[in-house]
């Protein structure tokens, strides 16, 4: 499955940023269907607003992707120590070029697997996971490793596709995104996510719009 994910992003690298940011009419139409009429770029902006510009601790961004949504945010977070991890070397190369062009110097990029994070216990104040939890093949491992590397009182912030909210997004996720390797089943529903979070986190925000869930939760 990991090889499928790697190859899918390699094949899509020529149009990935335009696609994910809805820069064309066809990508806007597709994402309108995929997210159930929700603008995922607006949700990305809301999620990033949960991280203050003057944050001066240590943060993990996984998967960092091409940094297309985060580069302007990170440019202003001058006091933060940010680590960006992604399984795809193609995404990391794009992120490196984008961050270098924007003269962002406080982000360390690293290739790796979220289910086996190369960081010590209780290492991060924040973990940001944008458009990732529906992609990870080993979701149990991802949640476990994120929890392990977060400090007590640290914040997990995430947005991602959830199953069972709308029929068209569920169809596209199963029959197109999963076959392309961009999404990886099985997919959590809203109740599944709550069951994962509630024993270990205090949920601060938990919002569902269309087929997208976004939340922030503080590690107990």
Burial of residue 94, with CB atoms counted within 10 A of its CB: 0-12 exposed, 13-18 middle, 19 or more buried: buried
23/170 Cα distance (integer angstroms) = 23
The alpha carbon dihedral of 58, 64, 69, 75 has a sign of positive
Across 36-45, 138-147, 192-201, 202-211, least confident range: 36-45
30: its two tokens: 């597709």
55/206 Cα distance (integer angstroms) = 22
Structural domain harbouring 155? 2-219
21/94 Cα distance (integer angstroms) = 15
pLDDT band at 158 (very low <50, low <70, confident <90, very high): very high
Q: What is the pLDDT of residue 25?
A: 47
- pLDDT tens digit sequence for 95-122: 999 999 999 999 999 999 999 999 999 9
Mean pLDDT of the chain: 89
Burial of residue 139, with CB atoms counted within 10 A of its CB: 0-12 exposed, 13-18 middle, 19 or more buried: buried
Q: What is the tally of structural domains in the chain?
A: 1
The CATH number given to whatever domain includes residue 22 is 3.40.50.150
Q: What is the pLDDT of residue 19?
A: 53
């Amino acid at each position: 499955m990991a090889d499928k994910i790697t190859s899918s992003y390699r094949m899509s690298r020529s149009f990935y940023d335009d696609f994910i940011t809805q820069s064309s009419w066809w990508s806007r139409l597709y994402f309108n269907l995929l997210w159930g009429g929700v603008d995922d770029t607006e949700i990305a902006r809301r999620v990033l607003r949960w991280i203050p510009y003057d944050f001066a601790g240590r943060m993990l961004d996984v998967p960092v992707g091409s940094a297309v949504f985060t580069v302007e945010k990170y440019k202003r977070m001058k006091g933060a120590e940010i680590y960006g991890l992604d399984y795809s070397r193609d995404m990391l190369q794009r992120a490196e070029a984008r961050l270098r062009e924007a003269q962002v110097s406080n982000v360390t990029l690293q290739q790796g697997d979220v289910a086996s994070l190369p960081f010590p216990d209780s290492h991060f104040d924040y973990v940001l996971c944008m458009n990732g939890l529906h992609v990870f093949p080993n979701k149990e491992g991802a949640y476990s490793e994120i929890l392990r590397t977060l400090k007590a009182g640290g914040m997990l912030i995430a947005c991602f596709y959830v199953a069972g909210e709308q029929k068209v997004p569920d169809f596209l996720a199963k029959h197109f995104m999963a076959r392309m390797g961009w999404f990886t089943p099985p997919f959590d529903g809203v109740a599944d996510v709550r069951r994962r979070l509630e024993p270990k986190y205090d949920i601060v925000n938990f919002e569902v719009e269309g087929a997208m869930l976004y939340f922030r939760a503080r590690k107990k």
